[in-house]
Each structure stands twice: as C-alpha cells, then as structure tokens.
Homo-oligomer: A and B are copies of this chain.
Amino acid sequence: MVRPARNAPTLESVAALAGVSRATAGRVLSGSPKVGEQARDAVLRAAAELSYVTNRAARSLMTRRSDSIAFVVAEPEDRFFSDPYFASVLRGAHAAVAAHDVQLVFAVLADDAERERFERYARGGHLDGVVFVSLHGDDPLPQRLQQAGVPVILSGRPFANDAPPVTYVDADNRGGARSAVRLLVERGRTRLATITGPLDMSAALDRHEGFLDESGPAAAGVQHADFSVEGGRRAMHALLDAAPDLDGVFAANDLMALGALQAAAERGRRVPEDLAVIGFDDIPLAAAGTPPLTTVRQPMMDMGHALAARLMEFADTGEAPGPLVLPTEIVVRGTV
C-alpha cells in the first residue's frame, strides 16, 4: 500500500502565510463573523494562493459530523437497475446534497452480509443520515438505525406504522390511482382491471387501494406482479384470459404498463380503441412508446431532492421533519 506523502496545504500554512494564528484562519474559513476585516482578507488571499482545501477527516474528528449522507437501495433483487425511477430519485438527491457541500454515499443492500456491514458502518457514526429507497415489507433496519441515533428518512411511507415512526417523503399514490381510474371511467370504460406491484411495498398497496376506491364493483380483475415489464406482460395475459371483455387497465407502474401494452399487441387488441392502459411514474420511456403511454406522473426528481434536503435538516436540527406527500398529475398521451 502506497502512502501518499501528499503535502497538501494545511490550515497552519495558510495561517502562517496570512500572518495570523491557526485559530483565526479557521474562523475565517468556517465563516465566523467575529473576525476583523483585514485578517479575513489576508486569510482568504492566502487560502486562494495555496488553493487550500479543508481536511474533512480532521474536521470530522472534532465535529463528529461526516458531512455525508447515504443513499441506500434496500433491494434484494436487481430490479433497481432496470427501473428508471431510481435513477431519477438519485439524481434529485444528489442535486440537494451538492448544494450543501455534503457527500452522497451510494449503497445497495442486496444480501444479509451487506446489510450487516452497512448497519455497522452507519452506527459507527460515519454518516450524518440515511435515505432508504425501495423498502420491502416491514424492514426493521431504518428503525434500528434511528434508535441508534442516526437520522433516517424513507422514500415512500413505511409499510406498517409502528412506533417509533420514521419520517418519509411519498407521492400521493392513492390519489393518483384514483384519478387514473376516474380518467378511465370518463372515457367510457366500464370493465376495469389493475396490475399491482409487489404487495410488500406500500406504494403498490396504496395504488391498489386507490384503484379499488374508484372502480368499486366494476372491477373486472386484479393481477399481482412485480413492477417489471415482463411481469406486466404476463399479468395482462392473465387478465385477458379471465375477462376477455376488459376495456381499461391501470398498471401500478410504467414498466408494467409497457408490458401490458405488449400483451395487448400480442393478442391483437388495439390500444386505446379496444383497451385503454394507464401507468404510473412517468418514466422517460413512457413518452417514447407507440402509442405513447398515458400515465400518472409522480415527481421523482423532486422527491429525491426533498428526501435529501429534509434529511440534512433532520441532521442539523436533530428534529425529524414531518412526512411529505407530493401530488401526482395525470399525463394524457396515447393509451387512454
């Protein structure tokens, strides 16, 4: 192992060049107001000249803050990597974090070993907070970390509402699903079905509830799938087998809606004439299909941003911000 004898400029050298003490130099660089004007100028000039960069390790040793938060995908499968949803949330989170000069540590917890390592790491105080994305069922990890004093926030409301609660940012899944069904009804569809996501995830559950709220007894079918294109395709076939007179389908995400579109094509159903399809998310690909997908848009990037911003606030104040539920919006394109 190489030991880089990198002689980066230290606060000491900046102070020396500026002709002040290390303490004063530190005060200037951390923006303390209690510094004289000429001392401030001298330090700033010296820092610029040496292109000084604060050593975060040393700082963090004293402040007990790491200036970094983790973006954790708690997903045992590789779904993460085919669903553009995650990338958008990640992008939003990074934007928020960059503005605060905080680092974003990325982690995926695919197996127990990784979960355990991550938990130790987080408990070790190396993170100012953790964003959890794609939680399944009643994962106890977020609560455990929170109890250990690590600020935590979830993307999507927790599956069960236990005490102590963990705060979250979510989209109005139920409301979005309702408006999707209402759109279907407005367009004269009477035989409605839905393709759900994995029912151990609250987003899938809430969208399903929203569907039931509006479809009522008119529901012609329910198929459970896994948020993937192939799952959506199979579910659509099953739906059509069970109820050939189906004329409207709400898929709980766009990937499954895309699969449903394929199944419809394979069966020779014209969309939207014979069969209307509406998805959820509004991933970039949704607009690009033929016909382009009508869907319920959730503001993925904004959610990522809010997640990170609220987590940093949590870390700063020590007080968990309340849950935030962002509105959804129908985007009418060609499939309804």
Contacts and interface: CB of A to CB of B under 8 A. Distances in A.
A106 to B, nearest CB: 4
Given A2-B316, A57-B57, A103-B105, A265 B284 contact: no
Given A6-B64, A124-B55, A266-B290, A229 B285 contact: yes
Contact of A288 (B51, B60, B259, B288): B259
A53 B230 contact: no
B94 A106 contact: yes
Interface stretch (A83-91, A157-165, A167-175, A199-207): A83-91
Interface residues of A, number: 68
The 8 A-B residue pairs with the shortest CB-CB distance, nearest first, are: A53-B124, A82-B284, A229-B288, A2-B318, A106-B106, A57-B60, A81-B87, A262-B290
A121 B53 contact: yes
26 contacts: A1-B316, A2-B318, A4-B64, A8-B125, A55-B61, A56-B126, A57-B57, A57-B58, A57-B60, A81-B90, A81-B91, A81-B284, A82-B84, A82-B87, A82-B284, A82-B285, A84-B84, A90-B106, A98-B114, A101-B117, A104-B105, A104-B107, A258-B285, A258-B288, A259-B288, A285-B285
A90 B252 CA distance: 26
A68 interface: yes
Contacts of A233: 288
A42 interface: no
